[in-house]
Amino acid sequence: MRRAVRLAATAAGRTSPNPVVGCVILGADGTAVGEGFHRGAGQPHAEVEALAAAGDRARGGTAVVTLEPCAHHGRTGPCAEALLRAGIARVVYAVPDPNPTAAGGARRLLDGGVEVVGGVLRAEAERGNELWLTAQRRGRPAVTWKFGCTLDGRAAAPDGTSRWITGPESRRDAHALRAQHDAVLVGSGTLRVDDPHLGLRHGVTGVPPLRVVLDRDGTVAPHARVLDDAAPTLVVTGPRAPKPVLPARHEVLRVPVTDGALDMAVLLDRLWDRGVRSVLLEGGARLAAWCAARGLVDRVVACVAPLLLGAAGRPVLGDVGAPTLAAALRLRLDEVTRLGDDVRLLLRARDLPGGDGGPEGGGA
């Protein structure tokens, strides 16, 4: 199963709106005879790739797969049927499929006389497929809030300068994080002050994420860096804002304004309809606070630099409406990594797998 998890990770960031999946086929004598992983939407599923590599050696053998084999007809046929046709005698999987459209493969295999074992190394497989699983369980794209800050929680100096609070290792890590997500999102303040590009640099390769910029009043500058041809950009405006004139590759999306801000819950629903399953929230103390206060943040990646700016520095997070310590938004600290002189913290909502509650519910 660990080999299957590693195979699944090979295509991380390239399979959306599908999950990452890895599969290893063992022959009847227990030796590995084939393996595969899902390469992207419309491509063969991991089980089909592994069965093709195994050929007739799969008959009477075992399929070890990171996600419950699917039972539905999509762009490709159901994997449960492929396993039955190949004569697989036993299927071992890590994570039950939470997608109601695709679920049911384990039952189909059992009905076909196949021995089925679920939950093997589930935690490891969950982590490798975390963004997709979170999106399926939430019914909206998974949201990761990423920021860099000083030791005292400041995202910029009093004069607004923020380049560079964190070091080069943290900056490269931020671009690698972008490559793992379907979309990267910034607010209008970040768009206006920093003029971000939001593409992939620092030697990071992969498919650039959809760039999403909030522009409630429709005032995005025509020469903004996010409007180049490096990746598509979605400019999100309010319902009454003038429509920005954009290069042909880019689009305008209108969403309602709620409590004085573009409604992120509606935006996430619209992104889901476009096939977006993960969003990296990168810019805006007020935007991050709006999302966090409404349970729309699933993970936090914080790169903390050994700097002090003091009270005059600009805080990394706006008001989340927590007047007391008891009302604070609490996260679970899961990973701590040193990046050069910085420290990278990965925190998760407490109701995500590995948190203090069950696998479903609201965010941070």
Rg (CA), the chain: 22
63 CB-contact burial (10 Å; exposed 0-12 / middle 13-18 / buried 19+): buried
Same-domain status, 110 and 176: no
Same-domain status, 161 and 257: yes
Cβ atoms 134, 141 nearer than 8 A: no
Same-domain status, 106 and 185: no
pLDDT at 205 over 80: no
Cβ atoms 334, 353 nearer than 8 A: no
pTM: 0.88
Choosing from 35, 47, 68, 282, the catalytic residue is 47
pLDDT at 107 (0 to 100) = 94
Q: Collapsing DSSP states into helix, strand and coil, what is residue 214? A: strand
36 in a structural domain = yes
Tens of pLDDT, residues 259-301: 888 999 999 999 999 999 999 999 788 899 999 999 999 999 9
Cβ atoms 152, 308 nearer than 8 A: yes
Q: Collapsing DSSP states into helix, strand and coil, what is residue 1? A: coil
Same-domain status, 220 and 190: yes
Give residue 175's domain range: 131-349
Same-domain status, 167 and 288: yes
Q: Collapsing DSSP states into helix, strand and coil, what is residue 133? A: helix
Q: Tokens 């969950």 — which residue?
A: 126
Same-domain status, 65 and 139: no
Tens of pLDDT, residues 304-347: 999 999 998 899 998 888 889 988 889 999 999 999 999 999 99
**32-37 β-sheet, strand order:** 32-37, 22-26, 62-67, 90-95, 115-117
Same-domain status, 145 and 276: yes
Out of 128, 161, 188, a domain closes at 128
Measure the CA angle with vertex 12, ends 302 and 18; round to 5°: 115
Same-domain status, 109 and 123: yes
**Alpha carbons 179 and 200: distance in angstroms, whole number:** 7
Cβ atoms 286, 189 nearer than 8 A: yes
pLDDT at 356 (0 to 100) = 39
35 is known as an active-site residue: no
360 in a structural domain = no
Instruction: Give me the phi and psi of 89, to 5 degrees please.
Output: -95, -25
Tens of pLDDT, residues 126-158: 999 999 999 999 999 999 999 999 999 999 888
Cβ-based neighbours of 306, under 8 Å, separated by 6 or more:
151, 341, 342
Cβ-based neighbours of 80, under 8 Å, separated by 6 or more:
69, 70, 71, 104, 105, 106, 108, 109, 112
Cβ atoms 13, 207 nearer than 8 A: yes
Please give the share of the chain, as a percent, with pLDDT higher than 90. Answer: 67
Can you say whether the dihedral through the CA atoms of 209, 215, 218, 220 is positive or negative?
negative
Q: For the chain, what is the domain count? A: 2
pLDDT at 358 over 70: no
**Alpha carbons 172 and 77: distance in angstroms, whole number:** 39
356 in a structural domain = no
Please give the share of the chain, as a percent, with pLDDT higher than 70. Answer: 95
363 in a structural domain = no
In this structure, the chain runs to a length of 364
**Alpha carbons 251 and 253: distance in angstroms, whole number:** 7
Q: Which whole number is the average pLDDT over 80-87?
A: 96
